[in-house]
A and B are shown apart, each in its own frame.
Chain A
């Protein structure tokens, strides 16, 4: 199984940068995903990492270090609409996902 940890809550100001860390212990690593979930809605895909390094997609970037069991999601130029929960998920060799409890990000004006 997987043990995935991420902070419960983070608060930041509009226009700022926020980094959400995720650590994991895995029994068969086959990729790491980040999802965004607005209150009352379904999770939606943000990013995917399987090799070490940084993946950049617009204002969002995700980093992975497999040797350290560590990833982060970087949100730049924060906007009010970025207020949501961000879920870290690890995929195993059977293609099943295990999720962290999620980090609720609140963006203040």
Chain B
């Protein structure tokens, strides 16, 4: 079944540890995105990539890094996790075609940093 997968589903992490959240899509979409969702703040864009080999910063990029080595994968890395990075992380993708082209979201990763 086509779509976006994320791993892990949930994780509890000690502060200071390094963590990579994985995201893979099989729809051959050009663009991919990472969001964090916090209560009362909605979805906020962390980083994005409009095509393989390029990335850009979103609204809240500090403390996170991404890479886009190929079309399908877009990992998000927390180099040294802090408690304020406790959140639900969603990966999304889109064709970047304009019009009613929407973003499709993965199931999310619930991350707790202690």
Contacts and interface: CB of A to CB of B under 8 A. Distances in A.
Interface in B3-24: none
- What's the dominant secondary structure at chain A's contact region? loop
Contacts of A43: 43, 90, 105
A29 to B, nearest CB: 13
Contacts, number: 53
Interface size class of B (residues with CB under 8 A): 20 to 34
Contact of A1 (B59, B100, B104): B59
A95 B102 CA distance: 10
Nearest to B31: A95
Interface stretch (A63-71, A76-84, A99-107): A99-107
Nearest to B91: A42
Given A50-B99, A50-B100, A96-B33, 16 more contacts: A1-B59, A31-B100, A43-B105, A44-B105, A45-B103, A48-B99, A48-B100, A87-B42, A89-B43, A95-B31, A95-B50, A95-B98, A96-B45, A96-B48, A97-B103, A101-B42
